[in-house]
Each structure stands twice: as C-alpha cells, then as structure tokens.
Amino acid sequence: MRTSSARAVRAVAVAAALGLAVTGCGTSSGVSGGGWEDTGTLTYWMWDSAQLPAYQQCAEQFEAANPDVDVVIEQFGWDDYWDKLFTAFVSDSAPDVFVDHTSRYADYATRGLLQPLDELVERDGVDLDAYVEGTTDLWVGPDGQRYGLPKDFDTVGVFYNTAMVEEAGYTREDLWSLDWNPQDGGSYEQLVARLTVDTNGVRGDEPGFDPTSVATYGLALEGAGEGFGQTEWSMYTGANGWTHTDQPLWGTRYAYDEEAFQETVAWWRGLVEKGYMPPLERTVGGSVDQQLQADRYAMATQGSWNINNLTRLEGIDLDVFPTPVGPTGERAAMFNSLADSIATSSPRKGAAWAWVQHLASVECQEVVARGGVVLPARQEVVPIAEEALSAKGIDIEAFTVHVEEGTTIPVPITENYSEVDAIMRPAMDRVMGFSAPVESLTEANRRVNRLFGTAGEG
C-alpha cells in the first residue's frame, strides 16, 4: 500500500485541481431530493485483487435480492487507485460506491464529495455496536458526520521464518514475551541480531560478524515509512508513548519533532548501521515476500491484510507474533478499518446505500471471512475469519490481541494527507538513507504543521 514519490507529487497537484473543481460544494446531510434512485447499474471500485472473488460473490448475493440493481466491480492496484479516484471526481465520473481509507477520506468529505450516512443509519436502524470496537469511530469526520460503514479492520504483527527462529534457539513463548526500548532494543533487538547471519555463517550477536556482507537480515526493511510508518516504525513509536498528532483523531499538529519519535527513529536506523536490517537502497530490488521466500529476511513487520500473500509463499513456513512490549509497558500496533463510501454525485444513492449496507452485513462479511484474506469488521464474523486464517498456519491472535488489550493506535486521520506525505516521504527517505540526520525531522515537522497553521506551536 505504498505510492512512489513522483506519484505523491501528482496526487498533491490533482488534489489542488480537485479543490478548485468543487469550490463552494459544501457538505450536505440530506437524504431527500434528486439522485436517490434505487435501481440501475452501480459502479463499485476497490484496490485489493485478493478480495475481488469474495466481493464478486457478495455482489451476486445482493443482485439476487435486488433484481433491479446490477453491481459492476472495478479493481485497480493501490498505486493507481487514488490517482484514478481523484481524476474521476474532477471529471464528474466518480464511482457510485468505493472502498475508502481512513487516511484519505477527509479530503473528499470536506469538499462535499462523500454522502453523510447519519440519517440513513438512524432511519434504517443500523446497529453500530455490531462492529469491532473502534472501527465505526474512525469514520466520523471533523464535522461529526459519518462517511462510511466499516468492512474490515487490521493491525500489525511480526511475521517470521519458523525454521530460522527454531534454529536460533527461540520458542513461541519467547517471541510473545519480547520487550523493546530505544536505547539498546531490549530482547527484541537481541532476537533480530541472533537471526541475522553474514555470508560466513556468523550471527549478528557473535564475534566476527561482518555487517557489510549479510546473507540473511534479521528484520526486513520495506521502506522509510513516510509520515505514518504503519508497518515500519509505528509499533515502536507507539510503544514509546508517542502519537502522530495532538489528538487521536482529526488532530491539527503533528509531533515529528518530539524526542520519543526521534529517538525511536534513531534506534530503528541503527539496525541498518549494525547490519541487522538492509540499507534503504537495497529494498528496491525485491518485495518483502520475495525476500522472505529467498531467505534474505528472517522477519518482517507486516499488516494482517498481507496474510494471504505471505502464507501462499512456497518453500517457507511463516508464523506471526505480536509487536514487542515497549517502555510504556504495553505493545502497540496501528489500527485501521476500511469502509465503503458513497459519492454525492451518484444518481443512484438509494441503490448505493443498499449496497453499502450489504457490504457491511453479516451475510457479505461471512463470505469475506471465509476467504481468509482480511479480518471482517462485524464482531460475530471474526471467529470465522480466525478459523480460516488459522487453517493457513497463522496465529491470528497476534493481531487480535491488540484489540483485546486496548493497545491499538489509530491511523493518523487529518486533512492534507497528500501534502503531509509529500513532505514526510522524502524527509524520512533522507534520514533512512543517511543523507540527513534524524534531527532534520524537526524542520520537516514545522513544514507539515504550516499546513494546519500550527507551525509555531510546541
């Protein structure tokens, strides 16, 4: 779920054009008037190809119960999805319904491009308590309006090569009791070091280890993490008591200048210096799953949405354990929930709302759960997903433990996503590429906060 730097710049440019195109649009919460047809052909956009078969089946369910409605599903890869969606809104050709992301929807909602759902939820008696705790809260905008019904949820865990971990002398119980701190990395860094092996067969915690010639890195590096670090560093900063913004949701001041963040990044970067994690420039040569399969990585911090891809790798057995306990005395994992949103430009919002309700229903989410790709948002369906994922050999509790123990941290939901990304992506790349010191993130933070008019605060 990453975009290139060039793509991020294009996204900012398109966002600016979008702002001009809808000036004066305003948010409307009414459910009457034009555009509420409940028949016709609906267009539905999504980005995850692994979930496409399940949602095709959901569409068949829906069409059987609603014979006057046809659902046409269009799937685009993550790298293209948001550019296409921006362009579709600008050209007045947006889909009726689309899969939305918490970090993105503010820019649409504040321009009046998303249909608020509050009156519809109340009118039809949608039980918001039926969803996994916290998922519905993520979809309430800064105006207090709801802009989506949750379809799934995700957290982050540490996938590992079971054979390598066993050979290194660790048990499952060892992995579940790991601790971490930004000074010496705790028992977690000891594991990373032990799993790192140079080309002479010397481990990272043994005398004579050569950090310049590594055969297997203890921990994968997918990238510098941009400004959110969902699968890269957020689990460490969160366990160190740091939060991205001044408020859990809809903050107006980012905190990349704080000591808790910068000392964590310095520790994380130190894993590259020690040879336990690959240099940033070497991450371009292959994806994390390819490197795991080739025994180049022993472990990788990844989201639950990637279970399907990782468990299908041939010639390697993977399992997962939860993120390590940090200085706060707790673990941390970024918590996110995708939802389905309705475009206000849709002339078929009646049918669109019926489709969104079906997508968020037990009937559809049971289908998704059995697919064993993601964790559905309906609480009563989660056990079905756990069974399907456990059949693939994955300890799903490593992800759900964060929800059960209340150690999740929300994806930072603010306005100006594209602009924040355009600043923090190159700033983090420079730090992790050793062309800028960690302290340079203080200036990047000032630039980010200028977007919110809070650059001089804190």
Long-range CB pairs of 364-368 (<8 Å, 24+ gap) are 364/55, 364/58, 364/61, 364/62, 365/151, 367/54, 367/57, 367/58, 367/61, 368/51, 368/54, 368/55, 368/58, 368/151, 368/152
Within 8 A by CB and 6+ apart from 329, the residues are: none
Determine contact, residues 182/240, Cβ cutoff 8 Å: yes
| Residue count of the chain | 458
Look at residue 433 and tell me whether its pLDDT is greater than 80. Answer: yes
Within 8 A by CB and 6+ apart from 156, the residues are: 230, 231, 234, 235, 301, 302, 303, 304, 323, 333, 334, 399
Confidence grade of residue 34 (pLDDT, cut at 50, 70, 90): low
Helix (H, G, I), strand (E, B) or coil at 302: strand
Kindly list the distances between the CA atom of residue 227 and the CA atoms of 338, 352, 379, 421, in Å, as whole numbers in the listed order.
Answer: 19, 33, 31, 6
pLDDT, one tens digit per residue, over 280-324 is 987 655 689 999 999 999 999 999 988 888 888 999 999 999 999
The span from the CA of 175 to the CA of 324, in Å, is 8
Look at residue 30 and tell me whether its pLDDT is greater than 70. Answer: no
Determine how many CB atoms are found less than 10 A away from the CB of residue 28: 12
- Taking phi over 0 as left and psi of -120 to 50 as alpha, with beta for the rest, 27 belongs to beta
Determine contact, residues 222/232, Cβ cutoff 8 Å: yes
pLDDT, mean of residues 43-71: 95
DSSP state of 181: -
């009046």: which residue's tokens?
A: 112
Confidence grade of residue 2 (pLDDT, cut at 50, 70, 90): very low
The per-residue pLDDT of the chain, averaged, comes to 90
pLDDT, one tens digit per residue, over 344-397 is 999 999 999 999 999 999 999 999 998 888 889 999 999 998 888 888 777 789
**Tell me, what's the pLDDT at 391?**
80
pLDDT, one tens digit per residue, over 131-188 is 999 999 999 988 899 999 999 999 999 999 999 999 999 999 999 999 999 999 999 9
Token pair belonging to 110: 């504040």
Q: What domains are there in the chain, each with its CATH number?
A: 5-154+337-377 (3.40.190.10), 156-335+414-450 (3.40.190.10)
**Tell me, what's the pLDDT at 17?**
44
Token pair belonging to 447: 């630039």
**Tell me, what's the pLDDT at 372?**
80
Confidence grade of residue 219 (pLDDT, cut at 50, 70, 90): very high
pLDDT, mean of residues 52-58: 95
